[in-house]
């Protein structure tokens, strides 16, 4: 079943930073043509940004990178779903294809640590050990940048949708400060369905491990 009528996005949190791209996937399962209104609101104030046409059994992807231009609005309304717009201190955001084939995003509110994985290639040659010649010479480093992303605390409802991200095969990492985009592969080997009860009535956060899907060569 679709998570919402006409929408196949199912984000872990319906929260977006004003600096990021808002992504949402629309789908019309009926034979009837339908327009879906996309608007920004703030209390009684409302701004209709677009009216999106949906056709029978066709998917539409909404991508909006202009939220920073509308600072007077703090909510997104799309069909029967509402997102909060916030001004966070987060540096990174993940965009990912979910289990329904739609697109979602997640702000990374915890720490982020970058590491370069280095795979070196060598060749051997004759050398005079009375000199400083190399007998084993490194000629190529293949560098794969990786990131460890820490979330803030999750609740039971949010954790129940983490599988959409960890099991996704198409993920992008966005630096909200530099606007750098990186295609990444999630390397977590499991997805835990943690709850407050099965975690000993303690709060928890998640660790997401990613490798950048583009290697760098250094000779």
Task: Give me the sign of the Cα torsion angle 179, 180, 184, 186.
Answer: negative
Q: Is the pLDDT of residue 39 over 90?
A: yes
Instruction: State how far the Cα of 133 lies from the Cα of 127, in Å rounded to an integer.
Output: 6
* pLDDT tens for each residue of 121-151: 988 888 888 888 888 888 899 999 999 999 9
Give the mean pLDDT of 147-158. 98
Q: Is the pLDDT of residue 67 over 80?
A: yes
More confident residue, 154 or 218: 154
Q: Is the pTM of this model over 0.85?
A: yes
pLDDT, residue 65, reads: 96
Q: Is the pLDDT of residue 103 over 80?
A: yes
Give the mean pLDDT of 25-38. 83
* pLDDT tens for each residue of 71-88: 999 999 998 899 999 999
- For the stretch 151-156, contacts whose Cβ atoms lie closer than 8 Å and that sit 24 or more positions apart, written own/partner, are 151/106, 151/108, 151/109, 151/110, 151/205, 151/206, 151/207, 151/208, 152/109, 152/110, 152/205, 153/203, 153/204, 153/205, 154/12, 154/194, 154/204, 154/205, 154/206, 155/196, 156/195, 156/196
Residue 202's contacts (CB-CB under 8 Å, 6 or more residues apart) are 196
Length of the chain: 219
pLDDT, residue 4, reads: 65
Q: Is the pLDDT of residue 17 over 90?
A: yes
Q: Which of 95-99, 189-193, 214-218 has the lowest mean pLDDT?
A: 214-218
Instruction: State how far the Cα of 74 lies from the Cα of 84, in Å rounded to an integer.
Output: 6
Helix (H) or strand (E) holding 159: helix 156-159
pLDDT, residue 55, reads: 75
pLDDT, residue 74, reads: 96
Give the mean pLDDT of 51-63. 82
CA atoms within 13 A on the CB side of 188: 20
Instruction: State how far the Cα of 79 lies from the Cα of 7, in Å rounded to an integer.
Output: 8
Are 22 and 172 contacting, i.e. CB atoms less than 8 angstroms apart?
no
Cross-strand bridge partners of residue 11? none
Cβ neighbours of 147 (radius 10 Å): 18
Q: Is the pLDDT of residue 2 over 70?
A: no
CA geometry: angle 93, 97, 98, nearest 5 deg: 105
Residue 20's contacts (CB-CB under 8 Å, 6 or more residues apart) are 65, 67, 93, 105, 107, 174, 176
């Amino acid at each position: 079943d679709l998570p919402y009528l006409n929408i196949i996005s199912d984000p872990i949190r319906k929260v977006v930073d004003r600096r990021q791209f808002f992504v949402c996937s629309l789908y019309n399962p009926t034979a009837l043509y339908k327009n879906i209104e996309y608007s920004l609101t703030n209390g009684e104030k409302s701004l209709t940004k677009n009216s999106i046409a949906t056709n029978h059994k066709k998917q539409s992807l909404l991508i909006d990178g202009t939220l920073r231009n509308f600072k007077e609005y703090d909510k997104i309304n799309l069909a029967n779903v509402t997102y909060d717009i916030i001004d966070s201190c987060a540096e990174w955001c993940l965009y990912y294809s979910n289990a329904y084939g739609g697109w979602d995003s997640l702000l990374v509110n915890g720490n982020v640590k970058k590491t370069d994985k280095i795979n070196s290639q060598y060749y051997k040659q004759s050398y005079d050990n009375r000199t400083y010649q190399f007998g084993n010479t490194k000629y190529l480093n293949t560098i794969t940048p990786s990131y460890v992303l820490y979330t803030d605390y999750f609740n039971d409802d949010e954790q129940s949708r983490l599988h959409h991200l960890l099991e996704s095969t198409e993920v992008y990492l966005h630096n909200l400060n530099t606007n750098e985009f990186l295609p990444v592969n999630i390397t977590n080997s499991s997805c835990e369905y943690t709850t407050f009860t099965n975690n000993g009535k303690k709060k928890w956060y998640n660790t997401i491990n990613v490798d950048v899907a583009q290697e760098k060569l250094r000779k």
